[in-house]
Structures are given as C-alpha cells and as structure tokens.
Amino acid sequence: MNIHQEVNELKGEIVALRRDFHMYPEIGFEEYRTAEVVTKYLTECGMEVKRVAKTGVVGLLRGKETGKTILLRADMDALPVEELNDVPYKSKNQGKMHACGHDGHMAMLLGAAKVLSTHKNQFKGNVKFVFQPNEEVTGAMDMIDAGVLADPKVDAAFGIHLWSPLKSGQIGLANGPVMAANEEFEITILGKPGHTSAPQEGVDPIIIASTIIQTLQSIQTRETDVLTPTSIVFGRIKGGTARNIVTEKVEMGGTIRFLYENEESGKKELLGKVERLVKGICAAMRAEYEIKFIPSNPAVMNHPEIVELVRVSVKETYGNEGTIVPYMCMGGDDFAYFTQKVPSTYCFLGIGSKDKGSNYPHHHPRFDIDEDILAYGTEVHIRTALRFLNR
Ligand SMILES: [Zn+2]
Ligand SMILES: [Zn+2]
C-alpha cells in the first residue's frame, strides 16, 4: 500500500471534515451533532461503532488476526469563545468556537480511519478510534470509567495536538512529562472589617492577599530547582465593597503547574510549600485563612518505546527527521489519564504560520489552523498504528 498517496488523495475530504466541525462547534459534553457526524463516518468505514460517555464515540477496526490493540485519540469539544475570523467556514454557533484545533484532530483521525479500514487485511490486532468529549474539562476520565481501555484491552495509546506555537509542519516530540500536571487552588483570607481611616482597628485582608501573591512567586525560583518547571499563577481575585471600607475577606484562586519526573512526591512537596507560606503570612499578619487544592490533570507522560515508534513514523511521513523538535509545555491535557494507564505518546504538530494567519495562541478568538498540515497528522496516525501492530 502507498500510504502517502492514499492520504494525499483524501486531503480535500479531511479539510472539508475540519471545516464542517469548525462551523458547528459544540462545547464539552454537548457534542451531539459532532458525535453524529463521527458515528456516521466511522460506520461507513465499516467498523463497529459505539457511543461512550454521553457524547463520546469509539470505532473498533479489527485486523486480519488477533493481536495487540492501539488506541488513537481525538478530542471533540469547542470553547465558549466568539470567533473573530472572517472565513467561509466561520463558526455558526454564536459564542462557541473551535479555538483549540480539536476540529482538526477529529478530521485527521477520521482520515486515518478511512485509510486503515481499507487495509484491515494488512495488520493484526485492532485499532480503536476514540473520539473523546469535553477535553477542556476532563472527559478522558469518563471514557476510561466507561471501559474504553477494555474489550479488547488497549496496549498503547497515541494522540496528536495541533500546535500553533510550533512552526507549520514541525513535530514536537519528547520522552517523559511533556504537558504539565495542574493543581488548582482557592485561598480565602479572613480579616476583620473596619474603616480605612483606622485600618489598625481591623485586619486588612487586601494587603495580606497582595503579600501572599508576591511571596508565592518566590517558590518558583527560591524553593525549587529552576530546571524543574513550576508555575504558580493567580487567575482570580475578589474582595472589598467600597473604597473606604476595610473589607472582611479576600477570595482568590489560580493554578499550579509542574512537570516533574516523580509527580506524586513532587506535588506533595510543592503544595506543602504553598500552604506553609500562606499559613505563615496569615499568622504574621493576624488573619485566618482557608485553602483548598483542587486536583486537575496529571502530567502527560510519554513512554520512550511509543515515542520511538512515532519518531520513525514521522521520519517516514516527512522523509527526514529535521522536522522533529524536543518539546514540552506548561499546558495540560486530559490525554494524561490515558498515559497513566497504558504506554502512550502525545505529540505536537506545528501549525504556526504568520503568512497563513495561523500563529494565534490556542483559545484566542482569531485562532485558526494551517490546513495544509492536516494530512501529515493523518499519515502519522496511520503509520504509528501499523508500526505498533505489525512489529
Ligand atoms: Zn484547549
Ligand atoms: Zn486542545
């Protein structure tokens, strides 16, 4: 089979699929239309198709004989963003937009499903095509709970994220943690209300909050090796009712992101540092506090064996290795849950091109993708699956 040629012939269809998804974006667990399009397409490819975890879709393609099973994953959800691009395929759903590239992820994977389904006599084992809802929150866990890794048991998982920070065509690939673990937090500083003319009579939680915000930044450079990525950022702060009142409390929240080899012990230590500083500052400044940590994604952890398979697949797709760059980032992705269960690899496929206007950050209202890149993603999916199953 000539995979390169077959994918090339499918290019127009892949782009059309992407544009269709782009025009009708649906946010997490509301991907009903999206799921219908995916279900219909996979069914027409002649595979067993199931709906899993509300709006998730799983297609199972069985090869010529029993063998291992590889899971290929695309996420399906859009974002609550009003699109500002003036393009023929602009979002028709007000206030919703595929601003993260998941429309492209689905199109690439459907392309791979079509090509692989015509070659099921040429591999052993199975390919599980997983279309996962609600990535922006955490839909992967719901799919795993619903049994997506069983029957047949999944032996490896692979996924691609289109990535505008990388130049069009580049592949970001690395071993170990490549997307950060994320822990969210809420901190409430409880002071004592009063008049701003006599703040000494009260306890001002605003000045305490500002001390906490500043001091927690020191964890990243004074309490942690700067070569182990750690990022503490406040995204929300609320307090006060009037300019002349010492307020009673300040509520604030944010994210703690980190990429550690040993995630469990590293996380425990890091959260301990955060609470120690909050507790110490509040004690020193006469306030009470409440702190709550809300676990979000663990890190996306790439397995060296699967990384190697992908590396060879990329080389075959592009004809050279120059397109691969070692890459990791502080963003998170719930593909992390798959990587915790089976040997996996998540790679980044660059779509950033200034000329094509596809260099806006993800989640930006002008985000767009370089559609010329989609066929590469499809081919890497196909080659990685075949390489894993036929080795
Ligand atoms: Zn996103
Ligand atoms: Zn995304």
Q: What is the pLDDT of residue 138?
A: 83
pTM: 0.90
Between CA 176 and CA 326 the distance in angstroms is 11
Between CA 182 and CA 275 the distance in angstroms is 16
DSSP summary character for residue 200: G
pLDDT tens digits for range 226-285: 999 999 999 999 999 999 999 999 999 999 999 998 899 999 999 999 999 999 999 999
Between CA 209 and CA 237 the distance in angstroms is 9
The stretch 97-122 carries a mean pLDDT of: 97
Distance 29 CA to ligand 1 centre (A): 15
φ/ψ bin of 230: left (φ > 0), alpha (ψ from -120 to 50), beta (otherwise): beta
pLDDT tens digits for range 63-109: 999 999 999 999 999 999 999 999 999 999 999 999 999 999 999 99
**Mean pLDDT estimate for the chain:** 96
DSSP letter string, 121-188: GG-SSEEEEEEES-TTTT-HHHHHHTTTTTTTTP-EEEEEEEEEEEETT-EE--SEEEE-EEEEEEEE
Q: Are 229 and 258 in contact (CB under 8 A)?
A: yes
**Identity at 70, one-letter amino acid code:** I
Question: Does residue 156 register a pLDDT over 80?
Answer: yes
- State the catalytic residues: 77, 135
Q: Are 17 and 110 in contact (CB under 8 A)?
A: yes
DSSP letter string, 339-359: HHHS-EEEEEEEEE-TTTT--
Q: Are 356 and 365 in contact (CB under 8 A)?
A: no
Identify which of 192, 234, 188, 189 has the alpha carbon closest to the alpha carbon of residue 208.
Answer: 189
Nearest-5° angle of CA 331, CA 229, CA 136? 15
Q: What is the pLDDT of residue 322?
A: 77
The stretch 59-63 carries a mean pLDDT of: 97
Q: Where are the domains of the chain?
A: 3-179+299-390, 181-295
Burial class (CB in 10 A: 0-12, 13-18, 19+), 343: buried
Residue 212 CB-half CA count within 13 A: 36
Nearest-5° angle of CA 277, CA 278, CA 280? 60
Between CA 229 and CA 206 the distance in angstroms is 29
Q: What is the pLDDT of residue 1?
A: 76
* Other beta carbons within 10 Å of 32: 11
Q: What is the pLDDT of residue 261?
A: 85
Distance 191 CA to ligand 1 centre (A): 37
Distance 117 CA to ligand 1 centre (A): 29
Out of 51-60, 198-207, 321-330, 363-372, pick the least confident: 321-330
Instruction: Name the CATH superfamily housing domain 3-179+299-390.
Output: Zn peptidases (3.40.630.10)
Give start and end residues of each alpha helix (H) in the chain.
3-23, 32-44, 102-117, 140-145, 205-218, 263-284, 304-318, 336-341, 374-390
For residue 136, which ligand has an atom nearest its CA? 1
Identify which of 351, 267, 347, 337 has the alpha carbon closest to the alpha carbon of residue 307.
Answer: 347
Q: What is the pLDDT of residue 321?
A: 74
φ/ψ bin of 53: left (φ > 0), alpha (ψ from -120 to 50), beta (otherwise): left
pLDDT tens digits for range 202-235: 999 999 999 999 999 999 999 999 999 999 999 9
Distance 24 CA to ligand 2 centre (A): 17
Q: Which CATH number fits domain 181-295: 2.60.40.420, 3.30.70.360, 3.40.50.460, 3.40.50.11540?
A: 3.30.70.360
